Amino acid sequence: MMKSKKKSIWVFGDYRNYYQNRVTLQLLSKAVDLAQTIKAEVCALVFGHEIDEWIMEYTAHGADRILAIDDPALKSYSTEKYLAIIENLAKERDPEIILIGATDFGREFAPRLAKRLKTGLSADCVGLDITDDGLLLQIAPSFGGNMLAEIVTELHRPQMVTVRPGTFKEIPHNYTRKALVERLPLMKKLPKSRVRLIEYERSVEKEHTIENASVIVCGGRGMGNRDKFKKLHDLARLLGGDVGATRPVVYSGWADHGALVGQAGKHIKPKILFSFGISGAIQHTAGLGEADFIIAINKNPQATMMKMADVAIIADASDVLKTLIKELKKRIRE
Partner 1 sequence: MLNLVVCLKQVPMVTELPWDAKTGTLRRDLAAGMMNPACKHALEAALQIKEKFSAHITVITMGPPAAEEVLREALALGADRAILICDKLLAGADTYATSLVLTAAIKKECPKFDLILCGAYTADSETAQVGPQLAEELDLPAAAYVEKLEIHGRTLRVRRMVDNFRETLEMEFPALVTVSMENYRPRYTELMGLENAFGGDGVIVLGAAALGINASLFKNKGSRTKVRKVFLRKTQKENVILQGTASAVVTEFLNKYQRKISTAIGKSIEGKLNDEE
Ligand X SMILES: Cc1cc2nc3c(=O)[nH]c(=O)nc-3n(C[C@H](O)[C@H](O)[C@H](O)COP(=O)(O)OP(=O)(O)OC[C@H]3O[C@@H](n4cnc5c(N)ncnc54)[C@H](O)[C@@H]3O)c2cc1C
Interface pick for ligand X out of 75, 169, 257, 299 (rule CB under 6 A) = 299
Cα separation, 270 vs 100, whole angstroms: 27
Q: Which of 215, 234, 210 is nearest to 318 (CA)?
A: 234
Residue 289 in the binding site for ligand X (CB under 6 A): no
Q: Does 122 bind ligand X (CB under 6 A)?
A: yes
153 binds ligand X (CB under 6 A): no
**Binding partner of 262, given partner 1, ligand X, none, CB within 5-8 angstroms per partner class:** ligand X
User: Which partner from the list ligand X, partner 1, none does 186 bind, CB cut-off 5 to 8 Å by kind?
Assistant: none
* Cβ 117 to ligand X shortest distance, Å: 14
DSSP H or E run through 307: helix 304-308
Picking from 239, 225, 230, 311, the residue whose alpha carbon sits closest to that of residue 275 is 311
309 is an interface residue for ligand X by CB under 6 A: no
Q: Strand 136-142 and strand 127-130: pairing?
A: antiparallel
Please report, as residue ranges, which positions from 62 to 121 form the binding site for ligand X (by CB under 6 A). Answer: 121
For residues 125 and 136, give the distance between their C-alpha atoms in angstroms, rounded to a whole number. 11
Closest approach, Cβ 43 to ligand X, in A, equals: 23
Q: Does 6 bind ligand X (CB under 6 A)?
A: no
User: By C-beta, is 46 or 160 nearer to ligand X?
Assistant: 160
How far, in Å, are 207, 229, 277, 305 from residue 316 at the CA level? 32, 13, 8, 15
Which partner from the list ligand X, partner 1, none does 26 bind, CB cut-off 5 to 8 Å by kind?
none
Q: Does 283 bind ligand X (CB under 6 A)?
A: yes
227 contacts which partner out of ligand X, partner 1, none, CB within 5 to 8 A by kind?
A: none
Contact flag: residue 144 with ligand X (CB under 6 A): yes
Q: Which of 102, 120, 96 is nearest to 31 (CA)?
A: 96
Identify which of residues 135 and 180 has a Cβ nearer to partner 1 in the complex: 135
Q: How far is the C-alpha of 270 from the C-alpha of 267, rounded, in Å?
A: 10
Binding status of residue 221 toward ligand X by CB under 6 A: yes
Per partner kind, with CB cut-offs from 5 to 8 A, the member of ligand X, partner 1, none near residue 226 is: none
Closer residue to partner 1 in complex, CB, 227/292 = 292
Give the one entry of partner 1, ligand X, none that residue 331 binds, where binding means its C-beta sits below a cut-off of 5 to 8 angstroms depending on kind: partner 1
Kind plus residue range of the DSSP H or E element containing 37: helix 18-38
Which of 328, 11, 320, 273 lies closest to 168 in space, CA to CA?
11
Residue type, 327: E
The interface partner of residue 278, options being partner 1, ligand X, none and the CB cut-off 5 to 8 Å by kind, is ligand X
Q: Binding-site residue total for ligand X (CB under 6 A)?
A: 34
Choose between 17 and 300: whose C-beta lies nearer to ligand X. Answer: 300
AA letter at 32: V
Burial class, 203, CB count within 10 angstroms (exposed 0-12 / middle 13-18 / buried 19+): exposed
Which amino acid would we find at residue 17? N
Q: Report the candidate in 76, 92, 85 with the shortest Cα–Cα distance to residue 8.
A: 92
Instruction: For residue 222, state whether it binds ligand X (rule: CB under 6 A).
Output: yes
Instruction: Indicate if the alpha-carbon torsion angle 164, 260, 268, 283 is positive or negative.
Output: negative
Q: Which does 324 bind (CB under 5 to 8 A by kind): ligand X, partner 1, none?
A: partner 1
Closest C-alpha to 87, from 2, 10, 22 = 10
Contact residues: ligand X, CB under 6 A: 121-123, 140, 142, 144-145, 220-222, 224, 246-249, 260-265, 277-279, 281, 283-284, 297-300, 303, 316-317
